Structure 1
Amino acid sequence: MFMDDFIAARAQMALSLGFHIIFACVGMVMPFLMAFAHWKYLKTGNEIYKGLTKAWSKGVAILFATGAVSGTMLSFELGLLWPGFMKHAGPIFGMPFSLEGTAFFIEAIAIGFFLYGWDKFNKWFHWFCGFLVGLSGLASGILVVAANAWMNSPTGFDYINGEYVNIDPIKAMFNDAWFPQALHMTVAAFCATGFAVAGVHAFLMMRKKNVEFHTKAFRIAAAFAMIGAFGAPLSGDVAAKSIAERQPIKLAAMEAHFETEKGAAFVIGGIPDEDKGEINYALKIPKLLSFLATNDFNAEVKGLNDFPKDEWPPVAVVHYAFQIMIFFGVVMISIGSLYLYALFFKKEWLNKNWLLKTFFFATPFGYIALEAGWTVTEVGRQPWIIYGIMRTIDAVTPMPGIQYSFYFFTAIFISLSLIIIFLLRRQIKMVPYLYDPTDKLFNSKNKKS
C-alpha cells in the first residue's frame, strides 16, 4: 500500500495518539480506584479490599509502563514528523510539556513506593503514595491537554511578519480552550475507565468465582463510571459553547451545518453531502443547536458556507465522529440511570445476569466515545496545526519515506497490544492468590486453581 508522506505522517500521529490516549486516561483514573479500595481496607480491615488494592495496583503498573512507552514515542514523533511546527511552537507551549515530565517522574516514584511499601511504611503514608499516583497522573493528563488546547486556541505570542514574538508561556498554557478541554477530557476518562473496569468485573461475577471480591470491585468502578457518565453532558456543554465562540467552523462541521441561520436545529444522524451543501436522512430538533451554542434558542449559528472551502475540515469524518460520541454517551447515561434505579429502588437487580451483561457489553463504550471525541477535536481543527496560524501541511517533515515509519510504528503498537492483553489476562487469573489465605472465600478449589 502506498501513501504520500503527508498522509503517512498524519496517520502515524493519529495511530499514536489513539493508542496513547487510552493509557493516559487509565493513568488519570485507575489509581483513584486503587486508592479508594485501599482506603476501604484501612477503614474496615476487610482483606478483600486489600486483595483488590493489590490487584488493581499491578494493573496500574502494567498500564503505566505501556503509557510511558507510547508517550515517549509521541514525544519523538512531534519532532521527527512536524519539525516546522516544533520550531515555532516549542518555545511557546513547551511549559506544559516540561511540567508534564515532572508529573510523570512523581508518578513513577509514587508507584514504586506504593508497590513495594506494603508493611514497610506508615499505613497512611503508604495510602498517600497511591493517591499521589492518581493526582500526578491526573495532572499529567491535564497538562498535555493544555498543550493541545493551545493548538486550538493559540495565544501567548504576537504573530508579526511571519515571526512569533512577545512570547508569554504562562498565557499560552492557560489559553481559552484549556479549561473546557481539560474538564471534558477528565470527565470522559472517569466514564471510560469506570465502565471498562466495571465491565470486566461484571463478566467475572457472571462466572460465579470469587463473587464477593468482584462484586466489591464492580460497585467501586460503577460509582466512578456514574461520575463520568452524568458529568459528561455538563462538561460537553461547556466545551461546545467554547468551540462555538472560538472555532465556529468546527461546530458547523460537527453538525454538518452548511447555511448560517437563526434558531438552528440540532442534527441527529444524517449523511453529509459536501458538494451540495446539505445533509440527508437526518433527524432535526428545531432551535436546539442555537441554544446549546449560545443559551439562546433564536441565536445565529454560522454555517460552513460562510467560510472558505479550503479551510473546511473533513466534514463527514467530523460529523460521524461527533454522532458516535453522542450515541455512546447517551447509551452510558441510560445504563447509569438504570444502575442508580436498581441501587436505590431495586437492589435485587444488582446481581441479575441481565444487568451484569449490560455492563459487560458496555466495557468498550467509554473508550469508543473517547476516541470519537478526540477525532472531533483533532480532525475538526484541520487544515490547521496551529489554528488560524500554521497549516498542517506546512509543518510536516521534508524527509521522504515516512510511510515506512508508519508501518514500523503500527507493528510496535500491535505488539504492545498483544503483550498487554497477555499480561492483564495473567493478572486476572492471579486474583485468587491476592486474598488473605484465612478469608472465607479461599476455599480449597481456589487454592488448587
Structure 2
Amino acid sequence: MHMLDAEILARIQFAFTISFHIIFPSFTIGLASFLFVLEALWLRTRDDAYLALYKFWVKIFALAFGMGVVSGIVMSYQFGTNWGPFSEFTGGVIGPLMAYEVLSAFFLEAGFLGIMLFGLNRVGPKLHFTATTMVAVGTLFSAFWILSANSWMQTPDGYMIENGRAVVTSWWDAIFNPSFPYRLVHMVLAAFLTTALVVGAVGAWHLLRDRQNRPARIMFSMAMWMAAIVAPIQIVAGDMHGLNTLEHQPAKVAAMEGHFDTQNGAPLILFGWPDMAAEETRYALEIPKLGSMILTHDWHGKITGLKDFAPEDRPNATIVFWTFRVMVGMGILMALLGVVSLFARLRKTLFSCVWLHRFALVMGPSGFVAILAGWFTTEIGRQPWVVYGVMRTSDAGSPIAPTAIAGSLIAFVIVYTIVFGVGTAYILRAMNHDPRHAHAPKDEVLRAGGRTVAAQNPPQAGE
C-alpha cells in the first residue's frame, strides 16, 4: 500500500520523534531565561520568595532538559538510518551547523548545568548566577543554530552543488538565509510564551488553592505580564514571517490559506475543507478581500493559488490549512488572556479572579499545541521538498524495507510513551508541590570565597 511505503513510514517516524523532542527545548529555552530573571531579582532584592521560586523551577528545568537531550540524541540517528541520501547531499551544510550547536550551545549548557543545579551553597551567589546566565545563553545559542539549519532547508542559500553534494560558498548567506531571522524570532518568542503560559498555569493552580500564596502570586503576575506583552509582539512577528514565506514559498502560503485559484483581492477563508482532488475548498466561510490585505497589506494584492503549481509540487492543503488555524487560534487566545489579565490587574483582582485563574490553567498547554501546529505547518507545507526547490523528499530516503521502519516506529511509540510519559508525570507532580516549601530559611548562609552572605527576607515587594 502507498500509505505504508518506506518514505511515508520514515516521515511518520521522524515526525513522531521530533514532536516529542521539540516540546522540551521549547520549554527549557524560556524556562532558563525565567530562572535567570528570578535569580537576578533575588540578588538585587534578597527577597527569599524569588529564591524559593528559583529552587522550585530549577528542578523542573533539570527534568525537561534531560528529556530534551535524550529525545534529541535518538532523533539525530535517523539522519543516518532513514535519510542517508539527504545526509550525504546536505552534510557539508547541515553537519557543520549542527556541530556549531554542540560546540557553542550544548557544551555551554552542560558545562554550567551542574553548578546551576548543585552549586548555590558551594560557589556563592554571584558565580552561581553566572552559571545560570551561561545556561540561559546556551539555550538561545542552541535555538540559533538549529533554526539556521532548518531554515536553510526551507530557503537554501550560500551554496553550490558539486559532485552531487551541496557545498557552502558563503557561510554568512547559508547561516543567515532569507527565512532565518524571521523564523528565529518567531520560535524564540513562541518558547517564551510557552514557558510563560506553563508558569502562569502553575501559579493559577496554587492561587486557586490559596490566594495568599506569595510565590504563586509572583509567578502568576510575571507570567501574565509576559502574555500581555509578548503575545501581541508574536502576532506582529508572525505577520512578518508570513510575508517572507509568501515571497519564498508561495505554495505553502496557498495551502495554509486554502486558495486553489490565483486571485487579486483574495478573501480570508476562516474555515472550510480543502479538497486536493477536487482542487477547491469546500464549505468555505470567507471574509472578502481580507486575505490579500493580511498577506500583502493591499486589499487588491495578488495571491497565487495552488493550481499555478504542478500537482506533484503541491503540499497537502487539507492538513496545512488546519494546523495553521490551530496555531493562529492558540495565539489569539494567548493575546486574549494577556488583555484580560491587564484588566484584572487594573481592577486589583489579578489574584482573586477565580475565572481568570481557571482560564490561565486551561491555557497552560496551549503553547505546546501552538508550537506543534506551527511546526507541522512549516514542515508539511514544505513538501514535496526536503530542501525546498532542490531535493525532493522522495529522493532523500534510505533504501530500507518498510517492515524495518515500521518495527522501529512501533518500538519508538512504546518506549517514548513509557519513558516520557513517566517523565512528564514526574514534572506535573513537581509542579503540584507548594512553591513555599522551597523557601530558603532566613538564617541560611551562602558561602562564597571565604565570605558569608546571609539570605534576607525584606518586606514584600510590589507584585
Shared fold, TM over 0.5: yes
* Corresponding position of 1:24: 25
Q: Distance in 2 between matches of 1:180 and 1:67?
A: 24
The code of the aligned residue for 2:355 comes to: W
The code of the aligned residue for 1:147 comes to: A
Q: Distance in 2 between matches of 1:160 and 1:99?
A: 23
* Corresponding position of 2:439: 435
Question: Residue 152 of structure 2 contacts residue 180 of structure 2 at CA under 8 Å; is this kept in 1?
Answer: yes
* Corresponding position of 1:369: 370
> What is the deviation of 1:235?
0.9
Please show how residues 55-66 of structure 1 align to structure 2 within 5 Å: 55-66=56-67
* Corresponding position of 1:222: 224
Question: Residue 190 of structure 1 contacts residue 227 of structure 1 at CA under 8 Å; is this kept in 2?
Answer: no
The code of the aligned residue for 2:406 comes to: Q
* Corresponding position of 2:418: 415
* Corresponding position of 1:444: none
SS in structure 2 of the partner of residue 120 of structure 1 = helix
The code of the aligned residue for 2:412 comes to: F
* Corresponding position of 2:9: 8
Q: Distance in 2 between matches of 1:169 and 1:189?
A: 27
SS in structure 1 of the partner of residue 286 of structure 2 = strand
Is 1:73 the counterpart of 2:113? The answer is no
Q: Distance in 2 between matches of 1:418 and 1:42?
A: 36
Question: Residue 326 of structure 2 contacts residue 370 of structure 2 at CA under 8 Å; is this kept in 1?
Answer: yes
Question: Residue 55 of structure 1 contacts residue 434 of structure 1 at CA under 8 Å; is this kept in 2?
Answer: yes
* Corresponding position of 2:331: 329
Task: Show CA shifts across 1:227-256 (max 9, x none).
Answer: 431221111011100110000000000001
> What is the deviation of 1:160?
6.6
The structure 2 residue matched to 1:108, chosen from 107, 110, 135, is 110
The structure 1 residue matched to 2:136, chosen from 119, 134, 155, is 134
Against the structure 1 CA distance between its residues 160 and 436, is the aligned structure 2 distance closer, same or farther, given a 3 Å change threshold? closer
* Corresponding position of 1:442: none
The code of the aligned residue for 1:308 comes to: A
SS in structure 2 of the partner of residue 284 of structure 1 = strand
Question: Residue 240 of structure 1 contacts residue 292 of structure 1 at CA under 8 Å; is this kept in 2?
Answer: no
> What is the deviation of 1:3?
3.0
Q: Distance in 1 between matches of 2:228 and 2:95?
A: 35
SS in structure 2 of the partner of residue 89 of structure 1 = helix
Against the structure 1 CA distance between its residues 351 and 60, is the aligned structure 2 distance closer, same or farther, given a 3 Å change threshold? same
Which segment is superposed worse, 122-131 or 29-38? 122-131
SS in structure 1 of the partner of residue 198 of structure 2 = helix
Which segment is superposed worse, 178-187 or 414-423? 414-423
TM-score, normalised with respect to structure 2: 0.90
Question: Residue 157 of structure 1 contacts residue 164 of structure 1 at CA under 8 Å; is this kept in 2?
Answer: yes
* Corresponding position of 2:55: 54
Question: Residue 94 of structure 2 contacts residue 149 of structure 2 at CA under 8 Å; is this kept in 1?
Answer: yes
The code of the aligned residue for 2:57 comes to: W
TM-score, normalised with respect to structure 1: 0.93
The code of the aligned residue for 2:31 comes to: M
Structure 1 residue runs of 4+, over 6 Å off? Answer: none
Question: Residue 263 of structure 1 contacts residue 288 of structure 1 at CA under 8 Å; is this kept in 2?
Answer: yes
* Corresponding position of 1:213: 215
Task: Show CA shifts across 1:312-349 (max 9, x none).
Answer: 11110000101111111111111111111222x21124
Q: Distance in 1 between matches of 2:202 and 2:57?
A: 12
> What is the deviation of 1:207?
1.7
Against the structure 1 CA distance between its residues 226 and 20, is the aligned structure 2 distance closer, same or farther, given a 3 Å change threshold? farther
**Structure 2: 5+ residue runs without aligned partners?**
444-463
Question: Residue 264 of structure 1 contacts residue 301 of structure 1 at CA under 8 Å; is this kept in 2?
Answer: yes
Is 1:247 the counterpart of 2:249? The answer is yes
Question: Residue 168 of structure 2 contacts residue 174 of structure 2 at CA under 8 Å; is this kept in 1?
Answer: no
> What is the deviation of 1:220?
2.0
> What is the deviation of 1:430?
6.9
SS in structure 1 of the partner of residue 158 of structure 2 = coil
Question: Residue 266 of structure 1 contacts residue 288 of structure 1 at CA under 8 Å; is this kept in 2?
Answer: yes
**Structure 1: 5+ residue runs without aligned partners?**
440-449
* Percent identity of paired positions between Structure 1 and Structure 2: 33
Q: Distance in 1 between matches of 2:418 and 2:111?
A: 27
* Corresponding position of 1:44: 45
Task: Show CA shifts across 1:144-181 (max 9, x none).
Answer: 01111111111222237855456434321211111111
> What is the deviation of 1:436?
2.8
Please show how residues 351-430 of structure 1 align to structure 2 within 5 Å: 351-400=352-401, 401-428=404-431, 429=433
Q: Distance in 1 between matches of 2:355 and 2:336?
A: 15
Task: Show CA shifts across 1:350-402 (max 9, x none).
Answer: 32211100100111111111111101100000111011111111111112211
Question: Residue 154 of structure 1 contacts residue 175 of structure 1 at CA under 8 Å; is this kept in 2?
Answer: yes
Which segment is superposed worse, 408-417 or 248-257? 408-417
* Corresponding position of 1:85: 86
Which segment is superposed worse, 275-284 or 40-49? 275-284
* Corresponding position of 1:443: none
SS in structure 2 of the partner of residue 351 of structure 1 = coil
Q: Distance in 2 between matches of 1:55 and 1:397?
A: 45
SS in structure 2 of the partner of residue 280 of structure 1 = strand
Please show how residues 158-197 of structure 1 align to structure 2 within 5 Å: 158-159=160-161, 162=164, 164-165=166-167, 167-197=169-199
Which segment is superposed worse, 237-246 or 411-420? 411-420
The structure 2 residue matched to 1:339, chosen from 338, 341, 361, is 341
Provide the aligned length of Structure 1 versus Structure 2: 438
Question: Residue 227 of structure 2 contacts residue 337 of structure 2 at CA under 8 Å; is this kept in 1?
Answer: no
Against the structure 1 CA distance between its residues 146 and 164, is the aligned structure 2 distance closer, same or farther, given a 3 Å change threshold? closer
For the aligned residues, what is the CA RMSD? 2.0
Q: Distance in 2 between matches of 1:162 and 1:387?
A: 16
The structure 2 residue matched to 1:204, chosen from 191, 203, 206, is 206
Task: Show CA shifts across 1:282-319 (max 9, x none).
Answer: 33222222233222222211100000011111110000
Which segment is superposed worse, 221-230 or 364-373? 221-230
Q: Distance in 2 between matches of 1:386 and 1:18?
A: 20
Is 1:281 the counterpart of 2:289? The answer is no
The structure 2 residue matched to 1:152, chosen from 151, 154, 161, is 154
The code of the aligned residue for 1:434 comes to: A
The structure 2 residue matched to 1:262, chosen from 261, 264, 270, is 264
Q: Distance in 1 between matches of 2:58 and 2:193?
A: 19
The code of the aligned residue for 1:283 comes to: L
Question: Residue 92 of structure 1 contacts residue 168 of structure 1 at CA under 8 Å; is this kept in 2?
Answer: no
Q: Distance in 1 between matches of 2:66 and 2:272?
A: 41
SS in structure 2 of the partner of residue 270 of structure 1 = strand
Q: Distance in 2 between matches of 1:156 and 1:36?
A: 38
